[in-house]
């Protein structure tokens, strides 16, 4: 793990995004914030290189090619295309993470988090797997107005930035799971499987809880338990639970 940390490369692709209020006031680039936190956690074991350039830059490309795993959290099709090309050329695993919001008639209809890690060497990648729009990638590179729009995507001028941190954290958590699998496979198979994880955060899958609303004998939330006793809980001196008729305890 230390060898991976020693080759950590962070790119600054959006100079407006920061992590803390103080950093936002000072305009601290997010790569500097990330490097600061990494160094604080790992000390001299970590060697972080920060770049304030786009991915197609030759210096950036060489630095990324020297990494064991390339993680893409970019907002544009052209940057994802560049990352995928590097992964294909140098046979490096690529982990692509992103979030998306879909609105219908002014209301959010879908909140998505998706993490994809194509198999190294094929048979599919981000380009042919539907993650990259080639037409949009070309427009982003050639049209300055379109690039400005993409930089401000998801934000309205003169208004606070939307609170999407919890959505980003879900994508980040799924990404760590995939990266963990690439570094140290913990599944039954010898080699890690390529992943394409999708989560609908607006309508998540839920598990039913087996309970009876008619016969609730729970000592905590039932009518004969702690429910609604208020200050009596503090005056019971811890004896309330012992005084309850718990009946026969389950094995």
**Domain assignments of the chain as residue spans, ordered by start:** 53-200, 209-251
Give phi and psi for 52, each to the nearest 5: -110, 50
Is the model's pTM score more than 0.85?
no
At the fourth CATH level, the homologous superfamily of domain 53-200 is NAD(P)-binding Rossmann-like Domain (3.40.50.720)
DSSP state for residue 125 in the 8-state scheme: -
Cα 192 to chain centroid distance, Å, stands at 20
Query: What are the residues whose beta carbons fall under 8 Å from the beta carbon of 235, sequence distance 6 or more?
Result: none
Distance CA(98)–CA(131), nearest Å, equals: 10
| 8-11 and 70-72 beta bridge pairing | unpaired
H/E stretch holding 168 reads helix 165-183
H/E stretch holding 196 reads strand 195-200
Please write the tens of the pLDDT for every residue from 71-125.
988 888 888 898 999 999 999 999 999 888 887 887 888 888 999 999 888 888 9
Regions of the chain with pLDDT less than 70: 1-21, 24, 143, 146-163, 187-194, 212-214, 236-251
Least Cα distance to 85 among 118, 109, 52 occurs for: 118
Least Cα distance to 157 among 13, 15, 16, 14 occurs for: 16
H/E stretch holding 104 reads strand 94-104
Per-residue model confidence (pLDDT) at position 36: 87
Per-residue model confidence (pLDDT) at position 153: 59
Per-residue model confidence (pLDDT) at position 93: 92
Can you tell me which residue has the tokens 């609105």?
103
Per-residue model confidence (pLDDT) at position 191: 54
Per-residue model confidence (pLDDT) at position 146: 67
Per-residue model confidence (pLDDT) at position 7: 45
């Amino acid at each position: 793990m230390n060898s991976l940390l020693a080759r950590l490369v962070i790119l600054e692709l959006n100079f407006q995004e920061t992590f803390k209020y103080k950093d936002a006031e000072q305009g601290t680039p997010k790569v500097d914030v990330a490097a600061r936190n990494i160094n604080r956690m790992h000390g001299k074991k970590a060697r972080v290189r920060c770049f304030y350039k786009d991915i197609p830059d030759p210096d950036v490309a060489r630095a990324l090619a020297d990494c064991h795993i390339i993680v893409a959290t970019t907002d544009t099709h052209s940057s994802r295309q560049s990352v995928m090309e590097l992964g294909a050329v140098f046979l490096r695993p690529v982990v692509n993470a992103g979030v998306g919001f879909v609105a219908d008639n002014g209301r959010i209809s879908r909140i998505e988090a998706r993490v994809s890690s194509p198999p190294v060497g094929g048979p599919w990648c981000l380009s042919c797997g539907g993650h990259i729009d080639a037409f949009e990638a070309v427009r982003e590179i050639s049209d300055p107005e379109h690039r400005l729009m993409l930089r401000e995507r998801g934000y309205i001028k003169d208004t606070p930035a939307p609170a999407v941190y919890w959505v980003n954290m879900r994508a980040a958590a799924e990404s760590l799971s995939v990266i963990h699998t690439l570094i140290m496979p913990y599944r039954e198979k010898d080699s890690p499987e390529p992943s394409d994880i999708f989560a609908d955060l607006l309508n998540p899958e839920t598990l039913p809880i087996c309970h009876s609303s008619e016969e609730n004998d729970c000592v905590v939330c039932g009518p004969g338990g702690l429910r609604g006793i208020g200050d009596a809980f503090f005056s019971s001196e811890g004896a309330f639970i012992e005084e309850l008729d718990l009946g026969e305890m389950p094995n």
